[in-house]
Structure 1
Amino acid sequence: MVDGAARPGQHTLTRLAELSGTQADGVTHLAAAVAAADGIEAFSEQMLLNLTDAHREVTHLLLTAPAETSSARGEQPGQQGSAVEILGYAQIDDGGAELAIHPDRRRRGLGRLLTGEVLTEPGVRLWAHGDLPAAKALAEALGLQRVRDLHLMSTTAPRERTPVPGAEGITVRTFEVGRDEDAWLAVNARSFADHPEQGRLTRADLDARIAQPWFDPTVFFLAEDAVTGQLLGSLWVKIEETVGEIYALGVDPDAQGRGLGGLLTAHAMAAFAGTGLDRLELYVEGENTAAIRTYARVGFTKERADVQYARPTG
């Protein structure tokens, strides 16, 4: 989010229910440019999946300008032959929103313009990745309140595998595609009943992730009751290139207190060991002190915060 003085007549703001393939490619290139400039991802994974997956009802906001009036750098990659240049983009998904302005188009008031359009959505909550000074300044100027912190924690990957402790009455196995989807979705929904994103994953959302190149069921751990076989919790590991992520750790509320979080984390750390990864990371709610303590015990420390802003209530 950035601010400045916009010049009218040089841009168009369009609200869409779906993006064309060309538009989605343009937003993908915009996201890459923002990440390269800021060192932080412009959009969350779900927002990027929503660019081409239309099963969720989302709103896309495209801020464009005629290509012939853009700068001498010409068309953006992936937009050859298009008549417009994407200056900025926002997405609203179930009350959560994210936006970005191309680094070459900042300090012209476009961030304020796009943010203002997002804020016309009743009760919308706007993410600012990285808690950057420009986002703080714009939020303050617009009278927005900080309503949520999501911490990125990281550590170095273990070089040697350590023994994984057992737990009485618990067995741990890996996810089987075609068998475990429905049971996992049910426990995930219970585990994250109060979580605005993770708790509402659908079968289509799960299938979209299973279809991603990074998906590996051998590092998707399920904890079950040794007697009944009932699924009690899970820990999903995501590995991309040299980064390993504890993607989602959830325990059924009825199974709390049985040490499942620590047990599943130990399995994940053992899976990371000796794989040549440079770093490990995870996201955790800033107010989830119990989870933060669990991760701190195995070496994770806070690296940054992603912040959500909203208009004051009442």
Structure 2
Amino acid sequence: MISPSHGPDDSAFALQFAAVTDAAARVDGYAPLNEQATLDVAARRRTPLLLRDGDAIMGPVVGALVLGAGELDLVVHPDFRRHGHATAALTELFGDPAFAADVPDGLTAWAHGDHPAARALAGRFGFDAVRRLLQLQLALDAAAPPAAVPPATTAADDIGITAFDPDTDADAWVALNARTFAAHPEQGGITAADLADRMNEDWFDAGDFLVARHDTALIGYNWLKLEQGAAEGEIYVVGVSPEWSGRGLGRRLMTAGLERLRRRGVTQATLYVEADNGPAVRLYRSLGFTDRTVDVQYRRRTR
């Protein structure tokens, strides 16, 4: 059964929820919830729930859910998989009027890793695959020569690549990001408050947030995400102003970002990219990135 949530401020609930997601990450090799879902739970924009075995409200916890904002995330603890718990949870979710407000037409759900069981479950409950998100990886050679356009230098065409300044660049970056990702369902909607949330994360370092400037205008960026002491770093998001697309600025920003990662001691770079973004996928593959995992977003058909 789906257990009522007492919220992330309830320490016992938080521990049980984390026990499920941490176990799944260890066994699967990737996190069962993406960053946006985690931030939404912390900000109370979406509701975390526990999945328990049987009808007892204090039965053993076998999974976790996140609901709200037209989205669903569901993860079953590795020790309890293949026992029908996900099927039981979705049957309850779509059949109980108490959840009606959280399961609107067009409900979306991410399947991290594109597991065959997730595909079968999606089909059984009327979900269609609508997006494929590739995670790519690149091994970094610490002995590689410096990048042609390293951070904090200015190229001959008066484009400078420098560190992001939180005090002066925030508003300009939000506007640039909105233009760059105008058609993207998540990235294009990032607000100043969303940016502030991310800058408050422990991993944020303005020196890892590279921005390209022409005169005083921001025209592109490569935001890197490095957890403290980790050997792996993420190309968090790369964007180029539409007016500057097709001029090689994306490659220069990627080159600068990879060099920054090398200088920070990172040995493995990762990134996410929409599978249907042909120009970006070709750029990353030309730099040596290879496939790591595939995430699939499903949308439930209109009733």
Q: Same fold (TM over 0.5)?
A: yes
Q: Is the 8 A contact 1:13 1:62 kept in 2?
A: yes
Aligned-partner Cα distance in 2 for 1:260–1:85: 53
Shift in CA distance, 167/32, structure 1 to aligned 2, threshold 3 Å:
farther
AA paired with 1:62?
L
- The question of 1:30 aligning with 2:20 is answered yes
Match of 1:151 in 2: 134
CA–CA distance in 2 between the matches of 1:167 and 1:261?
17
Q: Tell me, in whole angstroms, the C-alpha distance in 1 between the residues paired with 2:5 and 2:177.
A: 33
Offset at residue 258 of structure 1 (A): 2.9
Matched, 1:282 2:271: yes
Given that 2:226 and 2:233 are in contact with CA atoms closer than 8 Å, whether structure 1 keeps it comes out as: yes
Q: Which has the higher helix share?
A: 2
> Following the alignment from structure 1 to structure 2, what is the Cα–Cα distance between the partners of residues 88 and 40?
16
Which residue of 2 is the match for residue 62 of structure 1?
A: 50
Long gaps (5+) in structure 2 = 95-101, 150-154
Greater displacement, 130-139 / 147-156: 130-139
The residue that corresponds to 1:7 in the other structure is none
Which residue pairs with 1:301 in the alignment?
290
Q: Could you tell me how far apart the structure 2 residues matched to 1:122 and 1:13 are?
A: 23
Q: Report the Cα offset of residue 136 of structure 1.
A: 1.7
- 1: CA distance, partners of 2:160 / 2:28: 43
Give the share of equivalent positions with the same residue, in percent. 35
Specify which of 189, 203, 209 is matched with residue 214 of structure 1.
203
Mapping 1:257-276, distance limit 5 Å: 257-276=246-265
Q: Which position in structure 1 is the counterpart of 2:97?
A: none
Contact 1:245 1:281 in 2 (8 A): yes
Q: Tell me by how many angstroms 1:204 deviates.
A: 2.3
Using a 3 Å threshold, how does the CA distance of structure 1 residues 242 and 93 change in structure 2: closer, same or farther? farther
Report deviation, 1:168: 1.6
Once the 2 structures are TM-superposed, how far is the Cα of residue 175 of structure 1 from its aligned partner? 0.7
What's the C-alpha RMSD, in Å, of the aligned pairs?
A: 2.5
- Contact 1:14–1:62 under 8 Å retained in 2: yes
Per the alignment, residue 30 of structure 2 pairs with 40
| Residue in structure 2 matched with residue 125 of structure 1 by the alignment | 108
**Tell me, which stretches of 5 or more residues in structure 1 are unaligned?**
1-10, 71-82
User: Residues 123-202 of structure 1 correspond to what in structure 2 (within 5 A)?
Assistant: 123-159=106-142, 160-165=144-149, 166=155, 168-202=157-191
- CA separation in 2, counterparts of 1:258 and 1:92? 42
2:69 counterpart of 1:90: no
CA–CA separation in structure 2 for the residues paired with 1:206 and 1:26: 29
Runs of 4+ in 1 over 6 A off after TM superposition: none
Amino acid in structure 1 at the alignment position of 2:221: S
Contact 1:58–1:93 under 8 Å retained in 2 = yes
So what's the TM-score if we normalise by structure 1? 0.82
Q: Which amino acid aligns with 2:89?
A: L
Where 1:273 maps in the other structure, the secondary structure is helix
How many angstroms does 1:306 deviate by?
0.2
The more displaced of 126-135 and 87-96 is 87-96
Amino acid at match of 1:272: L
Note the alpha carbon deviations across 1:56-92, whole angstroms, 9 max, x for none. x3243332469xx79xxxxxxxxxxxx6654322223
Deviations 1:240-286 (A, max 9, x none): 21101100001222222332211111110111225432311000000
